[in-house]
Amino acid sequence: MNPNHHKPMFLTFLITLLLLQLLNLTNASTSPPITALYAFGDSTVDSGNNNYIPTLFQSNHPPYGKSFPAKLSTGRFSDGKLATDFIVSSLGLKPTLPAYLNPSVKPVDLLTGVSFASAGGGLDDRTAKSSLTLTMDKQWSYFEEALGKMKSLVGDSETNRVIKNAVIVISAGTNDMIFNVYDHVLGSLISVSDYQDYLLTKVEVFVQRLYEAGARRITIAGLPPIGCLPVQVTLTSIKTPRIFHHRICTEHQNDDSRVYNQKLQKLTFSLSQRLRGSRVLYLDIYSPLIDMIKHPRKYGLEETLRGCCGTGLLEAGPLCQPLSRTCDDVSKYLFFDSVHPSQKAYSVISSFALQKLFPFL
């Protein structure tokens, strides 16, 4: 067979791909400025909503917030800012993204964005109900409430403009997989693949609701390398005594995350095609996190599989307390507690998102 037989076809594919990328860049360059950012999901984007609901999933106490301005424990599950805080600051919207339930948030603040997210929540309502946190439906009802306040303040037309040009961030799924598959009896009742598909139907329905409400710029975060979360590393080492003193990622959980992310990418592409005038994009958080784990020195990190709070093995939320010992230099840690990234890690994730994703919004 002539080895050059497939070259014209391959060149045609490359040219088509380049034209599509140029088209995307052209469309992005002519897009109206981003007006606001609204976040839905779990602790990765919860700025402190859980402070105002009766749940154990709270972080409005030291040592959380030790790197935040004035060392405030705001309810963010980190030592400082979240990725969404860095993003709104980079976009020039506001210094940080506030929690919707924070009483200090005024109607005018809603025009540039808030977080409706709730730590301990997920795409599956059972996840939030088990942790007594806000379900996605409840977060949605607060969003509708916020729309009403905005319309009362600036009118329907201006509110519609703000929502149309706002960026919506959805970040959830990790708690679903941990609570309902890996560390729960449900894991023996349903296959990982089937449960992933179930979660993606939840994503699809939520995006459809956002679209019908006027949102057009929607980003959906994929799963992190769940098997590398310090708490999952610890639980695996307990179950496998031979590796107890050798902390390693649980690879089959990371494999599951990669499969889910591939499915999510296909879904976001399908939604963008189906929902006219929308940009529904996949937000890759797996790649920057796994790169920090594999190449810590590149980021000035020294510890990647243990949290800064307490022993770094299991402590999170109510177990990470004011009297808990913390590491000397949190900027050298990928995780602040046994589940949640440090401010340093969130700054890397936000830079990755701003570089790889936001030019296309």
The residue type found at 336 is: F
DSSP state at residue 33: P
Helix (H) or strand (E) holding 217: strand 217-221
Q: How many CB atoms lie within 10 A of CB 134?
A: 28
Cα–Cα distance for residue pair 80/207, rounded to 1 Å: 29
CA distance 190 to 31: 43
The answer to whether 343 touches 79, Cβ cutoff 8 Å, is yes
Mapping DSSP to helix (H, G, I), strand (E, B) and coil, where does residue 249 land? coil
Q: Which two tokens mark 125?
A: 């309502």
The closest alpha carbon to 95, from 68, 121, 59, 131, belongs to: 68
Walk along the chain (361 residues) in steps of 10 and give the mean pLDDT of each run: 48 46 47 94 98 96 95 96 98 97 98 98 96 97 98 98 98 96 72 96 98 98 97 83 71 97 98 96 97 97 94 86 91 96 98 89 76
Confidence (pLDDT) at 30: 64
CA distance 149 to 147: 5
pLDDT (0 to 100) of residue 313: 83
* Torsion of the alpha carbons at 238, 240, 242 and 245, rounded to the nearest 10: -30
At 188 the pLDDT is 62
The reported pTM is: 0.89
In whole angstroms, how large is the CA radius of gyration of the chain?
Answer: 21
SS (H, E, C) 160-195: HHHHHCCEEEEECCHHHHHHHHHCCHHHHCCCHHHH
Kindly state the DSSP code that residue 250 receives in the 8-state scheme. -
What per-residue confidence (pLDDT) applies to 10?
Answer: 46
Q: Measured between alpha carbons, how far is residue 285 from residues 193, 289, 337 in Å?
A: 20, 6, 18
Q: Which residues does the annotation mark as catalytic?
A: 43, 337, 340
